[in-house]
């Protein structure tokens, strides 16, 4: 068990102001796998002051020097990859093969990319008689979730540091142990004191201070839409910049000329990744009404191929959910879907056979779901796919857009030009065409109540920069 009793503030590991500890629960064994400090409001304030004091010097550090530190962090994380993969597989429940590739491989890549961007990024340009410069926004509070813990930390902290900002990180208290490893790596890389600070604790205590503090210039938050609204309210009091990456209810639109087998298999995969605990998961599968029986049969067969089990076993394809509360939430949604008239195609609310311990849920497909049903409108955050029938292409677009969210989605068609045409009409931040793979250099973020701002690639770096115009007096002709 990992016992963490100190916070990382101003380049040092220091005892928190309070004495409380938070248990970190293993998603498979339900045992306590670690303890972390329950941070106090004063800890958050200390971290903010440290970040503020470090800002002037760090923001003036040449981009090439900042890139050198960031490369060291990428290398340090790579050296501890297996340790991190095992930790996150325990915390979150993602099968170890995927945890290595996605939960750790992604962050290592993104730290390295943040350094690489600094080699070519244009921080200034001449526009008429103006010199337009890009400057760091200031002190950034990064508040991150538990589902892809290290990756969501990385997509905030790495570009913020690259931009010249200083950072206070509050990771999710549900999956925080990986953040302590990152802090150790940052310490070993020799980052100047105060540039990066780690404060753990609960959102209503630490998070509220970070979102409301007048010395914080920007809050970057990933989490639920409900919590994102609260962050926005608090940030508005000091008119700070707020970037939000929130919930989703993404639609995978299978058109009538699509390769049905590939489309259904691809959609199930995009729904069940990380046991459905993915904000951009394709949780609504829209299919031509005339093909429903075919789709149902294919989906049932695909789901039967998902092995549910211990994420540390190489044979497991689906691990547990993050917590008992999440398990109860997801099984409650499954039962509600059935109660509201959906056909149970695969899975169900009962625990998977032979898995009485751990937060496991059967991979579930609900068929003939009404577009207005609860399971078609609300984010479930579990391995639950709703099949929704449509009659025309126009109908499919209408249903896809009938959501408060707009984060991800997909379109499947035998005609790529047709798929792109439909994708352009869907109000969402990202659309996969015929299963196009995730691109870590493309912008990621949402429309509507899925949030605002973008992460990843140069777009993620730009989020942490302000424009300044220097109007130059041209010499007389």
* Residue 60 β-bridge partners: none
Beta strands 343-346 and 364-367 are antiparallel
Predicted local distance difference test score (pLDDT) of residue 123: 97
Predicted local distance difference test score (pLDDT) of residue 477: 66
Contacts 24+ apart (CB under 8 A), 452-457: 452/242, 452/243, 452/244, 453/220, 453/243, 453/244, 453/245, 454/429, 455/155, 455/156, 455/159, 455/243, 455/245, 456/110, 456/155, 457/113, 457/117
Marked catalytic residue, from 165, 271, 279, 389: 279
- Can you read off the two tokens belonging to residue 21? 């500890």
pTM over 0.85: yes
Exposure pattern of 426-441 as b/e (b: 16+ CB <10 Å)? bebbbbbebbeeeebe
Residue ranges of domains in the chain: 2-246+449-469, 250-441
| Identical topology for domains 2-246+449-469 and 250-441 | no
* Residue 219 β-bridge partners: 141, 242
∠ CA 387-224-395, rounded to 5°: 30
Find out whether 21 and 33 touch, Cβ atoms under 8 Å: no
Nearest residue to 326 (alpha-carbon basis) of 107, 172, 142:
172
| Integer CA distances (angstroms), 179 to 7, 148, 205, 402, in order | 11, 12, 19, 37
165 is catalytic: no
Marked catalytic residue, from 173, 245, 379, 455: 245
Give the whole-angstrom CA distance, residue 453 versus residue 459: 9
Which class is domain 2-246+449-469?
alpha beta
Say yes or no: domain 250-441 is CATH 3.30.930.10: no
245 is catalytic: yes
Mean pLDDT by runs of 10 across the 477 residues of the chain is 96 96 96 97 98 98 98 98 96 95 97 97 96 98 97 98 98 98 98 98 97 98 96 97 97 98 98 96 98 98 95 92 96 98 97 92 98 98 98 98 98 98 98 96 97 96 98 82
Phi (first) and psi of residue 246, to 5 degrees: -115, -145
């Amino acid at each position: 068990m990992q016992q963490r009793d100190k916070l990382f503030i101003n380049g040092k590991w220091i005892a928190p102001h309070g004495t409380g500890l938070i248990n970190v629960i293993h998603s498979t064994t339900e045992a306590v796998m670690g303890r972390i400090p329950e941070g106090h409001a004063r800890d958050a304030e200390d971290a903010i002051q440290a970040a503020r004091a470090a800002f002037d010097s760090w923001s003036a550090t040449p981009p090439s020097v900042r890139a050198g530190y960031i490369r060291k962090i990428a290398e340090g994380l790579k050296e501890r990859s297996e340790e991190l993969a095992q930790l996150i597989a325990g915390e979150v429940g993602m099968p170890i093969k995927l945890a290595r590739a996605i939960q750790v491989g992604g962050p290592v890549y993104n730290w390295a990319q943040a350094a690489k961007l600094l080699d070519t990024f244009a921080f200034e340009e001449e526009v008429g008689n103006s010199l337009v410069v890009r400057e760091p926004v200031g002190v950034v509070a990064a508040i991150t979730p538990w589902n892809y813990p290290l990756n969501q930390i990385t997509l905030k902290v790495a570009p913020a540091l690259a931009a010249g900002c200083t950072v206070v990180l509050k990771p999710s208290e549900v999956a925080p142990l990986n953040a302590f490893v990152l802090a150790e790596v940052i310490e070993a890389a020799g980052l100047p004191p105060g540039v990066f600070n780690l404060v753990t604790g609960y959102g209503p205590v630490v998070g509220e201070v970070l979102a409301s503090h007048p010395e914080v210039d920007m809050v970057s938050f990933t989490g639920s839409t409900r919590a994102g609204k609260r962050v926005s309210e608090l940030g508005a009091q000091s008119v700070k910049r707020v970037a939000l990456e929130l919930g989703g209810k993404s639609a995978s639109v299978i058109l009538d000329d699509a390769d049905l087998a590939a489309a259904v298999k691809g959609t199930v995969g995009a729904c069940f990744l990380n046991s459905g605990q993915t904000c951009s998961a394709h949780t609504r599968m829209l299919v031509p009404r005339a093909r429903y029986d075919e789709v149902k049969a294919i989906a049932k067969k695909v789901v039967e191929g998902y092995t549910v089990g211990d994420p540390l076993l190489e044979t497991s394809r689906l691990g547990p959910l993050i917590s008992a509360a999440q398990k109860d939430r997801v099984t409650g949604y499954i039962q509600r879907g059935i109660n509201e008239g959906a056909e149970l195609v695969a899975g169900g609310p009962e625990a998977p056979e032979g898995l009485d311990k751990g937060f496991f849920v059967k991979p579930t497909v609900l068929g003939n779901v009404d577009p207005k049903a609860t399971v078609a409108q609300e984010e479930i955050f579990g391995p639950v796919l709703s099949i929704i029938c449509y009659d025309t292409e126009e109908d499919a677009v209408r249903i896809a857009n009938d959501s408060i969210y707009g984060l991800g989605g997909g379109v499947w068609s035998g005609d790529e030009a047709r798929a792109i045409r439909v994708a352009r009409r869907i109000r969402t931040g990202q659309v996969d065409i015929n299963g196009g793979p995730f691109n870590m250099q493309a912008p990621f973020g949402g429309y509507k109540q899925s949030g605002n701002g973008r992460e990843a690639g140069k777009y993620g770096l730009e989020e942490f920069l302000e424009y300044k115009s220097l109007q130059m007096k041209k010499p007389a002709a």
